[in-house]
Amino acid sequence: MLGVSQRLGTEQNVVTLDLPPALAPRVQNALKANPCTVDLRSLASHYYSLGERILGLLEEDELVDILSEVANSSPEEKGRDGFGQDRTD
C-alpha cells in the first residue's frame, strides 16, 4: 500500500511503498531456494510484469537478481508450464 506521510518538519516529503504479497520476502526466499515450489500464476497472473512495475519504483537489487534468475531458468527447472507447477491441463 502506498502511504504518504505528513510533512515532518523537513524539506522532503516521505513516501513509503510496501511490496505486494506476491513479491514479499517469504516468496523471494522460496524462489531462491527452489523456483519449482512456487506457483507464480497463483501469486499474480502477470508475475513478471508486477515485478517490473515495482522495480521501476524501488531500488531492490536482490529482487532484481531473484526475478532475473527465475526468468532465465529453463522451463524444466520451473515446471512444465514455466510457473513452478507441473500442469496436466
pLDDT tens for the 89 residues of the chain, in order: 344 445 555 566 667 778 999 999 999 999 999 888 889 889 999 998 999 999 888 888 999 999 998 888 766 555 545 555 555 54
**Whole-Å CA distances, 28 to 1, 65, 66:** 19, 10, 7
Rounded to whole angstroms, the Cα distance separating 22 from 38 reads 10
Domain-located, residue 2: no
Residue 12: the pLDDT is: 65
pLDDT computed for residue 16 by the predictor: 76
| pTM > 0.85 | no
Residue among 63, 43, 62 nearest 53 (CA): 63
Are 47 and 39 spatial neighbours (Cβ–Cβ below 8 Å)?
Answer: no
Domain holding 45, by residue range, is 18-89
Q: Is residue 12 part of a domain?
A: no
**Domain tally, the chain:** 1
Q: What is the pLDDT of residue 5?
A: 47
User: Cα(5)–Cα(26) distance, rounded to whole angstroms?
Assistant: 27
